[in-house]
Structure 1
Amino acid sequence: MKQSETQQVENEAANIVTDDTWRIEALIKEMEHEDQANPQRPGRFEFSPKSSSHMTWFIAACSSMGGLLFGLDQSLISGANLFYRLVNAAMPLGAVGGAILLIPSNEYLGRRKAIILSTILYTVGAALQAGAFSYGSIVAGRVVMGLGVGIETGTVPVYVAETVESRLRGNLVSLYQFNIALGEVFGYVVAAIFLHVRGNWRFMLGSSILFSTAMFLGMLILPESPRHLMHKNKTLQAFRVWKRLRDITSPESRQEFFLMKEAVGTVASQMQEKKNTARFVWLDFVTVPRARRAIIYANIMILLGQFVGINGIMYYMGVLMTQIGFSEANSTYMSLVGGVSLFLGTIPAIFYMERFGRRFWALTMLPGFLIGLVITGISYLFSPVKQVQAAEGLYLTGLIVYMAFYGPYACLTWVIPSEVYPTYLRSYGMATSDGMVFLGSFIITYNFTSMQEAMTKTGLTLGFFGGIALLGWFYQLLFMPETRNLKLEEIDAVFSLPTRELVRRNWKSSVQTASNMVHCRRASGTVDSGGRLGGQND
């Protein structure tokens, strides 16, 4: 019988290990022998729970606290702005610098130590702001904090993606966005607590020191990413970490370790053939189609997530609330509405990101938060003086819808870049994606007030942000590949397909899914770019 298209695409991702069982077993035996011949004493801070699954969740929970710090800063600055006008764009600008530091910190320090460095910068930046003696020292503190944010946001999703199992990768990387949203809720709560305290903005901006210190201590006991160790040709160390993260007796775990080793060997051979460009490895983003597709796709995804206005709305939440008619005190309290909505919106992605796939979340969430933007834009047409109840009611309704639907989509903006780059280019690719996050954030936050004045509040919300969301939906319908449940090394097969073929499969999958929905049918055997059932993904 002729092989189905679904089976063919799945084999494209798995053919690297076909008939290689004996090689896998030989590699594992070699590693076990080396490990026994060169015993290693546990590190001073080494943490090894009884279950490897417990270790996975501890890594995800502890490292994702970086999201808590990021979200905390976003909402704290909104509250502090009501009492001491700050340069909102200073932190995103500093984070662009942090993105530049991402490559050397990840390549030479490793994922774990890069995250530790970011917590130190967070702490120093928060301390400078809380103890500021001039406006310039506040700006300096926010730039230093931005450096930490830039390193942390580009490293934590990668660290989680490189350590957890493929069946959990999307869910646990989504935990990072969950913590961002949770941090934003905490920030609004902290702002409300210190609302009537003398020097309130100092306490608001300095409160993140508690969380950065806790994260610093937690990262001390976590292991380095095994894929980073393998990338640095530290195969034995990678194997030792792998045994802490996986059940090494599992055939799937042994196969994945073999895939990691093979990927490193393949890259080494390619670099040997390209001696003239080996020292400029980032040129592969231009010369290698697979890498070029990844960097274009990931960064368009990032910019879409920024240009629908999320950071402008988060940073100016308190100010926007006063524009619609709330008092300064009520603006601080009502800002919780947006933060809690975003927080609750991320919860489904933590449990179901891998089950439904990337395309499902993108193609269903974008229309949802577009509706929220439409409602918010309409609210500005009512007078905040004569029609204050209608203005406030519509604004809060639109804000809730926007934030709730943006939550899962925001998870994608971390999941996608963390997984699409090949291991040897991941630090370089994440540096560009990280830079795009904060470049986009800087553009929106720095120009937010000017854009409101030039386009009107309704024009900015509905016309610009809403228009970007609509264009983004069509882009992702055609160009977004599915990477659900694929090992990081298997994603190479997806991005090795020509763009025309990816578009063809995406369109075929989407048409089939739409037909299934209209006729109330279950998914048939059509596939998308990742080799998954179309009805399950779209």
Structure 2
Amino acid sequence: MASPFSDPERPKLSFFSRVSGNDVSESAIDSSREALISGDGSSASYSVCAVIISFFFPALGGLLYGYDIGATSGATISIESPTLSGTTWFDLNSVEIGLVVSGSLYGALIGSVLAFTVADFLGRRRELITSSMLYLIGALLTAFAPNFPIMVVGRFVFGIGIGLAMHAAPMYIAETAPSEIRGRLISMKEFFIVAGMLLGYVFSSLYVDMVAGWRFMYATSSPICLVMGIGMWWLPPSPRWLLLRAIQGNGSLPEAKEIAICSLCKLRGQLGSMSSLEVDAILVELSFVDEANKATLREIFQGKCRKALMIGAGLVFFQQVTGQPSVLYYAATILQSAGFSVASDATRVSILLGLLKLVMTGVAVLVVDKLGRRPLLIGGVSVMAISLFLLSSYYTLLKDLPSVAVAALLLYVGCYQLSFGPIGWLMISEIFPLRLRGKGLSIAVLVNFASNALVTFAFSPLEALLGTGILFACFGVIAVISLVFIFLVIPETKGLTLEEIEAKIL
């Protein structure tokens, strides 16, 4: 079917009339668009139960990502043990251990690149179903690996699932959630990531003393993969994606509208009339922009998307290069120096920090739609910068005051979970315009994982070159730079519909 925009002379009124099946006036279109842009056309009511269900299954993609981080921390201890690994190839060198730890991270980079090319074709729902299958295959390959190469393949496959899930899950949640609680729900995805990490730490502590315990650590995620896949199969596609694909000539517009209405009814628990009004409002807004042509690579770096890319990619870049992986790396050492007996067991230390991260993420979830994105970012990153300079001073000047390091560590972890942790993922899911959202978000996710890999890879060489104290001071300086970036670049999107963000902010 030809796109309704294939004729450049076709008036917008004709397009809307064809979609709605009614004769409407220009003033009716303007009033519908104004309702959407002012926020009045967003979800007037919704069923809490329906919204939670439509959030829960895509959020499991984040939980599995977090679980992999937590489980791997214990798996590396188990697999290197001559008595507990249960293998003949336990004597791994540093490169091989690095592949076990970071294999899923590099797989996630591959998944992010794949998302750029397949996301708009598959759609958010099918991309999440695909990621659940990759999660399951990767977990089973890793758990039952007969040798080291198969284990590494399993880690990479699981990582590709991470890349697809962390791309599609925030998009699906953002496009289906009511605008009033969109920030809370997307921030809850970060809560699921942290909950997954904590779950991984807990199972690591349970299995770490068992023979071949690392196999159980990885296999435990398999049921969650199945639940995610079945749940996403049951959920409907994103209504916004359906409408965009129809406008671009992929299918019948009236049919796409009917399916979108049914999808929205299921996702929100709304009456058909309410969902119909919201779908009409989305279609009207789409009719005011050139959605007909598919997005090109060049367009990603032009116009609205260039601004969105600067906001989203910049935020997730600073999220990683302010040292978050490195600070957690030193957590056990800092707590041991302060005389915490529990710190002698790395898995228990991880559980302690996981609980702190979970509590602080919960606080962010509760307040993000009340206080807004900017206040949490500004306040949280400010304290992060102070805590990094305190850590630096401990390693250079205050070595006899380990309490300073402990306080700085807890402040850093807590404030990261109030700011960069949840809000980075939240902003990249809502800032890109609909037509370019799939490709734009894939670039932002790629920047996130690439920055993480860069910091993880560069930390040890930089520490040897500069010293721990100076390195943490460098992270503190970067945190100050990121604070300036937030002040000058990051907008407030609290309470706005996705269409309002596109029309007023970009």
- Give the TM bin, normalised by the shorter chain: 0.7 to 0.9
Determine the structure 2 residue equivalent to 1:457.
Answer: 468
Q: Name the CA distance, whole Å, in 2 between partners of 1:243 and 1:318.
A: 49
Q: CA deviation at 1:147?
A: 0.3
Map 1:290-329 to 2 at 5 A: 290-314=304-328
Determine the structure 2 residue equivalent to 1:426.
Answer: 437
SS in 2 for 1:78: helix
Q: CA deviation at 1:452?
A: 2.0
SS in 1 for 2:297: helix
Q: Which amino acid aligns with 2:497?
A: K
Moved more, 155-164 or 308-317: 308-317
SS in 1 for 2:189: helix
* Cα RMSD, aligned residues only: 2.9
Q: CA deviation at 1:54?
A: 1.6
Kindly indicate whether residue 506 of structure 2 is the aligned counterpart of residue 484 of structure 1: no
Determine the structure 1 residue equivalent to 2:218.
Answer: 205
Q: Name the CA distance, whole Å, in 1 between partners of 2:346 and 2:161.
A: 29
Q: Work out whether residues 291 and 435 of structure 2, in 8 Å CA contact, stay in contact via their aligned partners in 1.
A: no
SS in 2 for 1:20: helix
Q: Work out whether residues 95 and 146 of structure 1, in 8 Å CA contact, stay in contact via their aligned partners in 2.
A: yes
Q: CA deviation at 1:308?
A: 1.4
Determine the structure 1 residue equivalent to 2:265.
Answer: 243
Determine the structure 1 residue equivalent to 2:413.
Answer: 403
CA distance 1:446–1:404, shift in 2 (3 Å):
same
SS in 2 for 1:76: helix
Q: CA deviation at 1:21?
A: 6.6
SS in 2 for 1:445: helix
Q: Name the CA distance, whole Å, in 1 between partners of 2:398 and 2:486.
A: 37
Determine the structure 1 residue equivalent to 2:65.
Answer: 70
Q: Name the CA distance, whole Å, in 1 between partners of 2:363 and 2:272.
A: 29
Q: CA deviation at 1:139?
A: 2.0
Specify every segment of 5 or more residues in structure 2 that has no aligned partner in the other structure, as ranges.
1-24, 34-44, 81-96, 247-255
Determine the structure 1 residue equivalent to 2:387.
Answer: 372
Q: CA deviation at 1:196?
A: 1.3
Moved more, 175-184 or 256-265: 256-265
Specify every segment of 5 or more residues in structure 1 that has no aligned partner in the other structure, as ranges.
1-16, 26-49, 272-277, 497-538
SS in 2 for 1:220: helix
Q: Which amino acid aligns with 2:179?
A: S
Q: CA deviation at 1:103?
A: 3.0
CA distance 1:202–1:313, shift in 2 (3 Å):
farther
Kindly indicate whether residue 484 of structure 2 is the aligned counterpart of residue 474 of structure 1: yes
Q: CA deviation at 1:466?
A: 1.5
Kindly indicate whether residue 348 of structure 2 is the aligned counterpart of residue 333 of structure 1: yes
Kindly indicate whether residue 28 of structure 2 is the aligned counterpart of residue 20 of structure 1: yes
Q: Work out whether residues 321 and 335 of structure 1, in 8 Å CA contact, stay in contact via their aligned partners in 2.
A: no
Determine the structure 1 residue equivalent to 2:369.
Answer: 354
Q: CA deviation at 1:58?
A: 1.0
Q: CA deviation at 1:379?
A: 4.0
Q: CA deviation at 1:398?
A: 2.4
Determine the structure 1 residue equivalent to 2:21.
Answer: none
Q: Name the CA distance, whole Å, in 1 between partners of 2:209 and 2:182.
A: 43
Q: CA deviation at 1:247?
A: 6.6
Q: CA deviation at 1:105?
A: 3.5
Q: Work out whether residues 109 and 446 of structure 2, in 8 Å CA contact, stay in contact via their aligned partners in 1.
A: yes
CA distance 1:312–1:204, shift in 2 (3 Å):
farther
Q: CA deviation at 1:323?
A: 8.9
Map 1:84-95 to 2 at 5 A: 84=80, 85-87=97-99, 88-95=101-108
Q: Name the CA distance, whole Å, in 1 between partners of 2:489 and 2:476.
A: 20
CA distance 1:75–1:247, shift in 2 (3 Å):
closer
Q: CA deviation at 1:416?
A: 0.4
Deviation digits for residues 160-204 of structure 1, max 9, x if unmatched? 000011111100000100011111111111111112111222222
- TM-score, scaled to structure 2: 0.80
Q: Which amino acid aligns with 1:445?
A: T
Q: Name the CA distance, whole Å, in 1 between partners of 2:269 and 2:31.
A: 19
Moved more, 93-102 or 487-496: 487-496
Determine the structure 2 residue equivalent to 1:440.
Answer: 451
Deviation digits for residues 31-61 of structure 1, max 9, x if unmatched? xxxxxxxxxxxxxxxxxxx973321111112
Q: CA deviation at 1:159?
A: 0.3
Of 163, 171, 174, 1:158 maps to 171
Q: Name the CA distance, whole Å, in 2 between partners of 1:472 and 1:93.
A: 25
Q: Name the CA distance, whole Å, in 1 between partners of 2:422 and 2:64.
A: 16
Q: Name the CA distance, whole Å, in 2 between partners of 1:246 and 1:479.
A: 33
Q: Name the CA distance, whole Å, in 2 between partners of 1:431 and 1:130.
A: 29
Determine the structure 1 residue equivalent to 2:77.
Answer: 82
CA distance 1:138–1:454, shift in 2 (3 Å):
farther
Q: Work out whether residues 52 and 244 of structure 1, in 8 Å CA contact, stay in contact via their aligned partners in 2.
A: no
SS in 1 for 2:288: helix
Determine the structure 2 residue equivalent to 1:38.
Answer: none
Deviation digits for residues 93-129 of structure 1, max 9, x if unmatched? 1111101111343222211111111111111112222
Moved more, 110-119 or 243-252: 243-252
SS in 2 for 1:133: coil
SS in 1 for 2:345: helix
Q: Which amino acid aligns with 1:438?
A: F
Q: CA deviation at 1:249?
A: 6.0
Q: CA deviation at 1:316?
A: 7.3
Kindly indicate whether residue 301 of structure 2 is the aligned counterpart of residue 286 of structure 1: yes
SS in 1 for 2:237: coil
Q: Which amino acid aligns with 1:260?
A: I
Map 1:269-284 to 2 at 5 A: 269=290, 271=292, 278=293, 281-284=296-299
Q: Name the CA distance, whole Å, in 2 between partners of 1:324 and 1:202.
A: 34
Of 171, 185, 209, 1:172 maps to 185
SS in 1 for 2:353: helix
SS in 2 for 1:235: helix
Determine the structure 2 residue equivalent to 1:223.
Answer: 236
Q: Name the CA distance, whole Å, in 1 between partners of 2:98 and 2:336.
A: 17
Of 209, 225, 234, 1:196 maps to 209
Map 1:490-509 to 2 at 5 A: 490-496=500-506
Q: Name the CA distance, whole Å, in 2 between partners of 1:252 and 1:402.
A: 44
- TM-score, scaled to structure 1: 0.75
Kindly indicate whether residue 93 of structure 2 is the aligned counterpart of residue 98 of structure 1: no
Paired positions, count: 442
